[in-house]
Chains A and B, each alone.
Chain A
Amino acid sequence: MGNEDEDGKTGEEDFAVRAFEARKHVWMGAIPLLVHLHESEVTSLPAPTPLLILAPRNGYLPLLADSIKPHFQSTLPPGSDTIWFDYEGLPLKWHIPTGVLFDLLCAEPERPWNLTVHFRAYPFDLLSPCEGEDSVKWNFVNALKEASYVMFGSTKSVMNLSQTEQSDLWKSVVKGDLESYDHIFSRSKPGMNLNSNAPWNTGRSASHRPSSADSELENKRTRAGEGVRPGRLPMRFYIRSVKEKFDDFCDSSPVDSWDQLVYMTRPIDVPKDKETVLTLRDALMKVVPHLFSSKSPIVNNESDESRRSPESSAESDPAKLGEVSDQDTGNEKLEPEVGDIVVVAPLPCGADETGDSHEALEEESRMNAQDPCGNLYEFGDEDKLLTTTGGLWEGLKVQSAKQFEGVVRIQGIELNLDIPLDWVARNLCGPEMFIHLCICTWVSR
């Protein structure tokens, strides 16, 4: 027993450290930009060279003004400046975090990302007016308020921040300083700090010494899933449709208008029953059910389906084969779980598994990030499936027959759809607490 306790503690520490590491990586995420000044604003010869700059994923484009403007200042025509950007002619919405814009508009990540900067002729009909940093800051605060309301049914945690705390919080976002961000929250947001056992700030315990007794306790509570459980999770879905399924994202044509995209805020209800683990797939099923292929094969997709499936490790995965053959024969079943469910043995789902499962999930998300293949219906190997699923077994049974016709990216990571949403919310949300979910789908609108 003693040994087990010992192991348990190590596991907790590892988890806390890992959780913090995951968030730290997300916060450090940045996109190299190559910024060109729009030709209509070049008044000097030779034209200014483009500027290479690193843009934080969690940041907003207008915040780069101080770094960009001096480079182009001397060549600008007379007049007052309002900075805005376009990518291949599409004016970029400044209130969407830079990382989300990149994931959404650059199907095949382009590095550096070639953006055009403008200081004149602000497209007021397309973009909300941006009156400098204040607009960006308040856009952030309002989003944070909204997220807080979604999660805890009240905006008080944000409204009660003092002026100083609010401005410190904003500074930490601008600087991408996760530790001070967490610190402000833990100090002043009762709904969201670890002392009240909320599982939303696992990072903080890790930023303190993981070996200290306090943080061990906190970790334990966090792991046990105690604390303020949000009623809903704040999510924004950004959906881009491409004309046809592609093997190479390069083939997709650029977005010329925001009208080609669908995006919306859709909070996802968190089940009251703590045993039920909600997955990313569950959220997608709820919000974009039309992006899942139905059990009966769609005529257009059938040939694609059989062509694509063998590539996706179907041979090593009997579950996969089972499912594919079901689809090929076109059997309409009332019980869709036949394929995978029979093959994979019933799962142990004890609390001890939690730590491991998170590790495994991180592992998986990394793997997926390195391996951006079109097929998202991949579980990796079965052992992983066993460790990662646990309580989401139920969800799998119902939904396993449906295949998601697209690619999901959060914070630039292509995610396994069976990842618990709770983990995504804790680790991959932006500083405004929203999960920004970019979907590239080949299902037409």
Chain B
Amino acid sequence: MWDGTLSAADFQYASKEFMKLWNHEECNMNQWSWEERPESSAQGYLILEGVSLPEIETPLMHESLSMETDDKEELFSDDATLTDLTSQPSRCTYHVIYNESYNVPTIYFRGYHSDGSPINWLDIHMSLPSHLAQQMDQNRWTFLTQEEHPYLHRPWFMLHPCGTSSIMSLMSTERLKQKSRGYATPPEPRKRGEGEDKQAVPSRSSDLEFDTKLEFIPSIREAPTNQVGNYRDQYLLTWLSFVGPAVRLPVPLDLFKSLN
């Protein structure tokens, strides 16, 4: 069974395929570009710049925040300032970099508020749907942390890649077929624009949610496991479907439809 990893060359290939798909799609999203890095075994990495994200605050998230110590948090919990922040989007840059140790893509990101101040760990925590915020709490040091960017050598947020290969492996055909048995009704696909950054995320423990997501990726589901080309073509999109929500990177659902 496929272990869910990619070689450096596969990553390079998958990136090019992914860019073709994403950049071709007519949507309001920014375009991915490829940054050449000869010292990298994948020869470079993917960049998505200037993504505007609304500062989302919901009452639910406020409840999940029990301890507030910092001045900034006080500010956030104040309803008067909330409206103001919501209208001012923050800007994020995402880098998808091949991880040489885990042989999987890793997402790095950095963002700034409209006032120029960098987005910090708590900002991210507050902007996430509650189940992901909970993940962040429970795995303070192993889920999302600020790490040194492998090429820029500056601190960037990074989603830890150690679980990626097992999730990707779960998405491979054999396992999926086993798992999708027993779910009679496929979950309804959501419409675009409907709180994309909060859309159903396959949490690491829930099989149902995996299947939910995979409904959108029929070709991975139907492809024979040994069709190497296929998993490379769709690897990054599949991967982003569960990584994106944790880093608030909206993945247009039309991309999954176009795979049909």
Contacts and interface: CB of A to CB of B under 8 A. Distances in A.
Interface in A94-152: 95, 124-129, 134-135, 138, 141-142, 145-147, 149-150
B160 interface: yes
Contact of B154 (A95, A125, A138, A262): A125
Most A C-beta atoms less than 10 A away, residue of B100, B101, B145:
B101
Contact of B100 (A129, A145, A265): A265
A231 to B, nearest CB: 11
A266 B154 CA distance: 19
B142 A265 contact: no
B102 A93 contact: no
B146 interface: yes
Nearest to A232: B101
Nearest to B156: A128
A266 B41 contact: yes
A259 interface: yes
B39 A264 contact: yes
Interface residues of A, number: 30
Given A138-B141, A264-B39, A128 B100 contact: no
A180 interface: no
Interface in A143-181: 145-147, 149-150, 153, 155
B50 to A, nearest CB: 19
B162 interface: yes
Contacts of A246: none
Contacts of B137: none
B147 A128 contact: yes
Contacts of A259: 153
Contact of B150 (A147, A153, A261, A264): A264
Interface residues of B, number: 21
Contacts of A134: 141
Interface in B145-182: 145-148, 150, 153-155, 160, 162
A234 B101 contact: yes
A267 interface: yes
Contact of A145 (B118, B147, B150, B162): B162
Most A C-beta atoms less than 10 A away, residue of B146, B160, B162:
B162
Contacts of A93: 148, 153
Nearest to A262: B39
Contacts of A264: 39-40, 100, 150
Contacts of B140: 138
Nearest to A126: B154
A126 B148 CA distance: 9
B150 A142 contact: no
B155 A124 contact: yes
A164 B147 CA distance: 26
Interface of A: 93, 95, 124-129, 134-135, 138, 141-142, 145-147, 149-150, 153, 155, 234, 258-259, 261-267
Interface of B: 3, 39-41, 100-102, 118, 140-142, 145-148, 150, 153-155, 160, 162
